[in-house]
Amino acid sequence: MSHIITCLTCGTTNRVPAERLGAHPKCGTCGAKLAEAKVHEVDSATLRKAERKDSLPLLVDFWAPWCGPCRAMAPEFEKAARALTPHARLAKLNTQVNGDAAQRYAIRGIPALILFQNGQEVARLTGARPAAEITAFVQQHSRNRA
């Protein structure tokens, strides 16, 4: 089995064998790590592509720099990224910079977490959460049980 993974740096779609996820696979175009234990900042275009194509679970934090709860949750989101790698990836989308995203994804309040997999929104969670709760949320809702 292999996974389709969009590079969150350059937007290229990559095919990665499931058994290679833990071996720090890199993008065939730009060389960026595809399953890295950190949160990536994405723009609307990259998110749309990853949302449609990726088979590996992608949890996106919709946030804004002026949002206190968003800033408070950032370290917890980073911890969750370390715990979930290589079985899921975590990204952040700044709704202030990417204003179209709030409408496209029907974001009513931030922070808002949306889990995508295989071209679908799988689940969503709102409000600032601790790392353990974020991790449990992804594990509960992802199809390959991160």
Residue positions annotated with a catalytic role: 67, 70
Amino acid, res. 10? C
Instruction: Give the C-alpha separation, 110 to 73, whole Å.
Output: 11
Instruction: Give the C-alpha separation, 133 to 79, whole Å.
Output: 11
Residue 137 near residue 88, CB atoms below 8 Å = no
Instruction: Give the C-alpha separation, 64 to 56, whole Å.
Output: 25
